[in-house]
Structure 1
Amino acid sequence: MSQLPVIVGFGGISPAGRSSFHHGYRRLLLDKLNDTDRNETLLDLATLMGLASYQDNQYLDQQGNPASINDLLDSIRPQVCNSTLIRRIEKECFDVHKVTFNKPATLNTDGAISFTLRARQMPKNIPANWQVKALSASQMEVTVQGDLEVIFPDVKEALVQSAGQLPNGFQPGKLYQSRNHPRNIQMTIFGASDALQSVGIPWDKIAASVRPDQIGVYASNSIGQLDDLGFGGLTKYPSIGKRTTSKQMPLGYAQMPADFINAYILGSVGVTGGALGACATFLYNLRNAVNDIRAGRRKVVLVGGSDAPVIQEVIEGFRSMGALAEDKDLLALDNLSELSADDYRKACRPFGNNCGFTIAESSQFTLLMSDDLALELGADIYGAVPEVFANADGHKKSISAPGIGNYITLGKSAALISRMLGEESLQQRSFVQAHGTSTPQNRVTESHVINETAKAFGVTNWTVAALKCYIGHSQGTAGGDQLNLSLGSWKYGYIPGIVTTPEFATDIHASNLHLSNQHIEVGPQGMDSVILNSKGFGGNNASAVVLAPHITQQMLLKRHGQDAFNRYQDKLQVTREAASQYDQDSIKGLTRPIYRYDNNVLTGADLEINSNEIKLPGYAQTVSLDIDNPFEDMN
């Protein structure tokens, strides 16, 4: 019997804001919310962005003056809405008008030229055509005969000026002792903390309920930490005359999100790892977690991803591939002479007439438990993930071109839903969260994958969503965006429309699809399942099946019985009260990320080891060494 991996908490930060309690989802459809939910999400964004604070039981505006909620919302709503989701790249990331692009040159001289340098600026290896004279202990005179190789500092206008950026003013590194952490790591600390605190059950209680090695963390990103505090500085600093630091190399690794969570948030000694699979990275990590829980190897697993690629060098790399929406192409699409702020917000147009994807940053985490542990602890259950399928493309001509693997992953996902919930559920009450990158190639190839799968399973009007139209493409974390935002549909009953696409392209395959540029009202229980789809660069394809909370509840009731479910409901009320308190405190800006530096650090001398178990000081249970022989038939 397989354990069912259920979702008991989720959180993070994206261009839509904080993910827990569906705040990120709410930002996508503010006009569909009631006043209370809308106001809470706007206030949450305002405190994240530094536009408001809460002190002495009242809100304060940015100047520190007391303000009623209505007055505060009236004043900050335009700024909140304009400074979230996809928008023109802001100076917090880099100045789009002054992108570094230095020019090498050779100075040709008819005669000798002379100049002075400080002694510490002199090159270690003096060129053969230099004559050097010391003017003082700190000043040197250089005379050059012949050519002189130089690099002129220069800047240019960015060719790509749109991106999905975290809410303007949000600085995760100021919420804890970030110690020169790359932006990605700062986002990880915030995102993982948000997910854990959203559960409503203290982590210490969860950890005490299982053995230390029954806990897992699978988290990573697709391209590492590429800002100056990570691999970006490591590779760039020597060429611009800066000193490489001792932190840039280790902090650049793509599995650092998992490492930091284990070391500074959870103190976990359980299984750890970070898969790499381009755009499918989050779903690869999710697959590892699902497999572990189903097999009984793990009881609780934190899955996550964190990508911060809104960096001028990364953007230029994708642009040179022809992958990004350049300003000149956006102008051509709409026959414009100049792009306005609204035009930048509509840069990503999945399945429409488009010209490239919009890069984005995001950090998303989801906590999974085995179904028996969730009921035992009284965890709130937001859905379940029975399976994640991953397949390669086979032989390819171009490594970046799409292939056949996604037909397999999506087909298997549809087949599983049909087997578990029945054909009618698949055909009438399932939808697809498309990869939906907004490239001309993706709109044709992915629509063909989804449409052909729909035909094969008798789905005549398969609803397809594409959340990147709001928040952009966060690379390896994109699957986390899809998962955590999809959960909101079962709370509020809407599937967000592809609102930036004015009309869908004529070359897409949509005979059996339902694509809409308006929000689709389905009701909180109108959909039984969703398939999260990723078509990754290089042939990394993954599709995950996510079951609705009402379906998950039916399955748990059948497995565990009414008495067990009644006991669970009693515990659930306490969990929800604690979780709600965290949410309310976060809305007011009163919470802080979990960060336990130099906390309960153990060495081998602290452990008690015998042939049956290992005792770890500070851990409620031991690590069992009673290991089954999986190959008894071969001994």
Structure 2
Amino acid sequence: AHAVAIVGFGEIGPFGNARARWSIEKSQRLTSADAIELAWLCGHIKFENGEWLDLESGDTVDVNDLVNTYDLNSAIGIRENAVFDPNMVEAYSEVLLSEDLVFHVPDADIADSFKRQDPANTHVVVAEDGFKVVRKAGARVRVPRIDPIDRDIAGQLPAGFDPTRLGFDSQQLEQIDPVAIYNLLATAEAFRTAGIDPRELWAEIHPSRIACTQGSGIGGMRALRRLYADSVLDQNKQSDVLQETLINVGAAYPGMYIYGGYGPMINPVSACATAAVSVEVASDLLTARKADFVVAGAFDDFSKEGARGFAEMQATISADERARRGFDPDQSSRPCDARRGGFVESQGGGTILLCRGDTAIELGLPIYGLVAGAWSAADGLQKSVPAPGPGVSAIGAGGLSSPLGQALDTLGLGADDIGVVSIHGTSTDANDLNETQLHSNLAKALGRSAGNPLPVIGQKAITGHAKGGAAAWQLIGLCQSLNEGIIPPMHNLDEPDRRLDDRAPLLFSDETLNYGPGAIRAGILTSLGFGHVGAAVCVANANVLLEGLSETELEYYSQRRDARWNYQLKAQYSVMLGEQQYFGGGVDKTLSADQEYELLLDPNGRIVL
């Protein structure tokens, strides 16, 4: 009962949410329910007078043909870049003026500011309508030009996605960086999947025991651009933009607007391993009893600055390379395939809600999985910042007595109970070769039985690489895999890299494997980031905990859990039916300053509305 339970999750990414992503991942098609939700999310339909209507025409729509009606498959996943035009990206180059440059300004102060910047090459002349500034021939000035980025695809939020339809106003969207907007949306969804309103949580748990370990790999790119580039260009000035560049601020917003925690606030920045490290910190807080409920996860965005940076590192697949190999956008991310050409960027991330198993049972929260263990590791002496290394493999040092072996044993599991591996799988040589070797060695060190295959999931083939949020998608997908007993295929694995032939017991299947609900007892994911940070999370099936309950305890828990599942479904439908907002806009504080101190200093204090 002291195991760490995953009780809720929210995902925002190229498929909108975890439900649609899982459908595509396991079966390559959207269900009817997915199509309704996606068509609504993309702004195509609305519910009115008991039926679904086309948002523009007001005509009734055929809910069984929404995928074709609105071509939903082209609106999701990895597709051509619609965030910015990679062929029209500006750069500012220094040139020498071959003749005088003359321009007008309205007042003396502005004119003087130009003269002070280059007094030797500038003079000011009074004009009828203000002042004429003359920048002399031979002066150096910067002139904008087009400098294309040879990266034309990304995993993007669904086409038509608009936060103003989900509860945000224009002022919030202008002020709050998109990374924090993603977090707010995913966290609101996570509480719905947990079947609990945050206000109910306040009545059950002291607010100082509600913690946050969310982070980001890069942070708010729009805010960074506004602070460091737009300010130099004297445009789009936002007075409070500095705060939006701070990664912990993006993590703070859900606490400010949604769940109102007062507990530990530890916000990791671990590049592409951030979400996994976030879960590790959350698990440690719960195990050490420094918190009773933790909001974990990570988010990142997709921007022209990041796209150029990764392109110059030759980390992502180029448009020329993609065309040369004949890959469609959704064929371009190819973990473990011999024809891979680099990773594909993506935007979004995910929120994970965690608490101890006894808390989950007591509150009747749905348990989607158990964190058997979570670890991070460095890679020793290295000369290359991005190159992944073997550090994570140390969790298997000692076999059955290793950190991983002991974590499994605590739950009554062993090496052969790990039924699936979700790899970081970036579709790069450096990552795929190292990571598969790591898992092969790890399985053998744990004493996995010879001939017991270990299937691999390479999720980034369909999602692209979310950077900091990548492991959140992996973890949610792993929970879905364990709950349904289904292991998705290795998408885009058309020509397996023969250098991976010696990676036994790993199994790279290009077909969906269906073992049935409850058959997969545990799984493990790895997440590797720049700066030589690696992380692993081992997840056990919820049944491992529930099987230890007495018949009476299980019946009591199941009734409360089922009620929360009903709450979850009602909340999700209410959002689509327009009865409540996806993001409710925040909860107002009900305490005075004196009441707030009184609450925090009372160990039995609770917020009851």
Amino acid in the other structure paired with 1:292: L
Pick one of 123, 132, 136 that aligns with 2:124.
132
Match of 1:445 in 2: 434
**Matching residue's letter, 2:448:** G
Matched, 1:211 2:200: no
SS of alignment partner, residue 387 of structure 1: strand
Contact 1:279 1:475 survives alignment (8 Å): yes
**Residue identity in the other structure for 2:607:** Y
> Following the alignment from structure 1 to structure 2, what is the Cα–Cα distance between the partners of residues 304 and 149?
47
Structure 1 SS opposite 2:213: strand
Report if aligned partners of 2:214, 2:275 keep a CA contact under 8 Å in 1. Answer: yes
The structure-2 alpha-carbon separation of the partners of 1:410 and 1:451, relative to structure 1 and needing over 3 Å to count, comes to same
- Contact 1:608-1:615 within 8 A present in 2 as well: no
Picking from 329, 338, 341, the partner of 1:344 is 329
**Which residue of structure 1 lines up, in the alignment, with residue 387 of structure 2?**
401
- Mind listing any 5+ residue stretches in structure 1 that lack a counterpart? 622-635
Structure 1 counterpart of 2:345, from 334, 359, 362: 359
Which residue in the other structure is 1:419 paired with? 409
Are positions 1:370 and 2:329 aligned together? no
- How far residue 171 of structure 1 moved from its aligned partner, in angstroms, is 1.8
Q: 1:577 to 1:56 in 2, by over 3 A?
A: same
Q: CA deviation at 1:129?
A: 2.3
Task: Determine the structure 2 residue equivalent to 1:381.
Answer: 367
Task: Describe the SS at the equivalent of 2:247.
Answer: coil
Given that 1:376 and 1:568 are in contact with CA atoms closer than 8 Å, whether structure 2 keeps it comes out as yes
Structure 1 equivalent of residue 88 of structure 2: 98
- How far the C-alpha of 1:584 sits from its partner, in A, is 2.6
Residue equivalent to 2:11: 12
Correspondence list, 1:64-463, <5 A: 64-70=57-63, 72-73=65-66, 75-76=68-69, 79-90=71-82, 93-109=83-99, 113=100, 115-119=102-106, 122=111, 124-126=113-115, 127=118, 128-138=120-130, 140-175=131-166, 176-177=168-169, 178-180=172-174, 181-227=176-222, 230-242=223-235, 244-308=237-301, 310-332=302-324, 334=325, 336=326, 343-353=328-338, 354-409=340-395, 414-416=404-406, 418-420=408-410, 426-427=415-416, 429-456=418-445, 457-459=447-449, 460=451, 461-463=453-455
Within 5 Å, give how 1:571-586 maps onto structure 2. Answer: 571-586=560-575
DSSP-derived class of the 1:368 partner = strand
Partner residue of 1:524? 517
TM-fit CA distance, 1:421: 5.8
Change in 2 beyond 3 A, CA 1:569/1:521: closer
Secondary structure of the structure 2 residue equivalent to 1:240:
coil
Paired letter, 1:489: S
- What is the rounded CA distance, in whole Å, between the counterparts of 2:604 and 2:448 in structure 1? 56
Distance 1:430-1:328 versus aligned 2 partners, 3 A rule: same
In the superposition, relative to structure 1, how do residues 377 and 611 fare at CA in structure 2: closer, same or farther (>3 Å)? closer
Q: TM-score, normalised by structure 2?
A: 0.90
How far did 1:155 drift?
1.7
Evaluate the alpha carbon distance shift between residue 429 and residue 3 of structure 1 in structure 2; reply closer, same or farther with a 3 A threshold: closer
1:190, CA displacement in angstroms? 0.7
**Alignment partner for residue 59 of structure 1, among 32, 52, 56?**
52
CA distance, structure 1, for counterparts of residue 348 and residue 416 of structure 2: 32
Q: Deviations over 1:434-462 (max 9, x none)?
A: 01001111121111111222233235421
| Partner residue in 2 for 1:624 | none
* Aligned 8 A contact 1:352 1:443 in 2: no
Q: What is the number of residues matched between the two proteins? A: 591
| Cα contact 2:214–2:266 (8 A) shared by 1 | yes
Letter in 2 for 1:169: G
Task: Report the secondary structure of 2:424's partner residue.
Answer: coil
Map of 2:458 onto structure 1: 466
Instruction: Give the deviation of 1:68 after TM superposition.
Output: 4.1
Residue 517 of structure 1: how far off its partner (Å) = 2.4
**Gaps spanning 5+ residues in structure 2: where?**
none
The alpha carbon displacement at 1:373 in A equals 1.8
Letter in 2 for 1:215: I
- Do 1:220 and 1:305's aligned partners in 2 also have CA atoms closer than 8 Å? yes
Deviation at 1:164, TM superposition (A): 0.8
Distance change (3 Å), C-alpha of 1:614 and 1:522: closer
C-alpha change, 1:146 and 1:268, in structure 2 (3 Å) is same
In 2, distance between residues paired with 1:119 and 1:574? 67
* 1:615 Cα deviation after fit: 8.7
Measured after TM superposition, the shift of residue 380 of structure 1 is 1.5
Counterparts in 2 of 1:385 and 1:43: CA distance versus 1, 3 Å: same
Cα distance in 2 for partners of 1:610, 1:207 equals: 11
Match 1:26 to one of 23, 26, 33? 23
Corresponding residue to 1:487 among 468, 479, 489: 479
Q: Which residue of 2 aligns with 1:626?
A: none
1:537 paired residue among 517, 530, 538: 530
CA contact 2:3–2:372 (8 Å) conserved in 1: yes
Conserved 8 A contact 1:29-1:496 = yes
Q: Is residue 307–residue 476 contact of structure 1 (8 Å, CA) maintained in 2? A: yes
Q: Work out the CA distance in 2 between the residues paired with 1:31 and 1:469.
A: 12
| Structure 1 residue 529: Cα displacement | 0.8
